[in-house]
Amino acid sequence: MDKAKLGFIGLGYMGRPMCRNLLEAGYEVTVWNRSRPGIEECVSCGAVEVSSASELASRSDIVITMVKHGGDVSQVALEPNGLLAGAQPGMVLIDMSTISPREAQTIAAALREAGVLMLDAPVSGSTVRAVSGTLSIMVGGPTEAFDRCLPVLEVLGSSIVHVGEENGAGQGAKLCNQVLVMVNMLATCEALTLAGRLGLDPRRVFDAVKSGAGGSWQLENMGERLLVGDLEPGGTVETVQKDLDIMMKAACDLEIVLPGSSLVQQLYNAVEAEGLGKKGHQALVAAYERLTGIRIADHSSEPPPSA
């Protein structure tokens, strides 16, 4: 069976390695982006550039979008020169951005009227796992579309779960994922700050607890960065603030409380006020530094030679 012809829109720090992996897997990939660096990198790896989203859709069986906001997805998909203008019935849009479940449902409904299917398939795992093709992918949308797109998703991720038949299910799962990410990030900053205040070596405390019941991906990966004062992205503070806004609006609509997430959002507001919005999301530690006067890296020993 011939491989599907792919389109890719959104060639930022996550989209570029994802596009490269698809090219390396032998897919023909057409690309369009609003900025040049992502286009140039992917074209140098074998992608074909076009001048509009509608032209990209006309050349594609499956289109992947990886953009910042729900408004961006809607614009790319539905604007006069967007995907819908060039799509043939039967095309599938896989939106791998993080947007609200309601936005995913609205966009999918508009596409469905023209015979275009949509999967909302947000990801978790940061740039490291985008590069290695081992992202976690949470998918909502029709089984028919999921089955067609699974070989493509398997190039990009190592954990792919079809959460539900309805559009918005993948985005709902991503919100649940972000609760765990953000509250675990808070716990990581808090625990290592406490270690420093207790007069302990935060690295030794980190080594002591990371494999215990309090262990998490955030502790093991972001904790290691905090120990050496590395605040560079991965995912940025600005990005997680966008996700937190979606979470808080969803909680309001559902009339539930998310107190842990609400506290994290307030602390990130303080971090952004310090001008750290473009740093990695582990920059949450800056709020703790201001509150306690403890900088984790200043109290941590060097990593062992084998680390």
Indicate the fold that domain 173-299 takes in CATH: N-(1-d-carboxylethyl)-l-norvaline Dehydrogenase; domain 2 (1.10.1040)
Within the chain, all domains assigned CATH 3.40.50.720 are found at 6-166
pLDDT tens readout for residues 145-186:
999 999 999 999 999 999 999 999 999 999 999 999 999 999
List Cβ neighbours of 181 (8 Å cut-off, separation of 6 or more). 124, 218, 240, 281
CA 118, CA 27: separation in Å to the nearest integer? 20
pLDDT tens readout for residues 37-62:
889 999 999 999 999 999 999 999 99
Using DSSP, state whether 305 is helix, strand or coil: coil
- Least Cα distance to 166 among 118, 199, 213 occurs for 118
pLDDT of residue 302: 86
The pTM of this model reads 0.93
Within the chain, all domains assigned CATH 1.10.1040.10 are found at 173-299
Amino acid residing at 173:
A
Q: Which residue in the list 174, 210, 242, 279 is annotated as catalytic? A: 174
Amino acid residing at 236:
T
Is 242 among the residues known to form the active site? no
Percent of the chain at pLDDT > 90 equals 92
pLDDT of residue 235: 84
pLDDT of residue 71: 83
Residues in the chain: 307
Top CATH class, 6-166 = alpha beta
